[in-house]
Amino acid sequence: MNVSLLILSEPYSSQSSLSALKYAKAAIEAGHGITRVFFYNNGVHTGSSIQTPQQDEINVQQEWKSLALEHKLDLVICIAAALKRGNLTLDEANRYDREQYNIEAPFELSGLGQLLDAQLNSDQMITFA
């Protein structure tokens, strides 16, 4: 079975972001495919490379990054939601004449069309709010 995940919450404001990460790991271990992980609303903060959680906390951004690199996951951050929350890639920083950026590969910025594509090409879409 192929699933896609929609993550709506900030990485450290509730348990749902960490639950999404644990779900993804369990799904992969069970042999399921993950079509796409889409970060929307405040979930876009998950891709920020400037997060600095306490040493005794899980670094959610790094965990997603490692999982994506190991299993070639598609981590997509909604571009509109990201930009208005100050989350930019180098390309977007250049486009808007900003000096700083905080979104790096394997996270990528894209539009809501990627969410629709994930829904169409997955057996299930699981939302973590």
Query: Which residues are catalytic, by number?
Result: 78
Helix (H), strand (E) counts: the chain: 5, 5
How far is Cα 35 from Cα 73, in angstroms, rounded to an integer? 7
How far is Cα 41 from Cα 45, in angstroms, rounded to an integer? 9
Cβ burial, residue 77 (10 Å; 0-12/13-18/19+): buried
Tokens found for residue 17: 């972001």
Residue with tokens 């709506």: 8
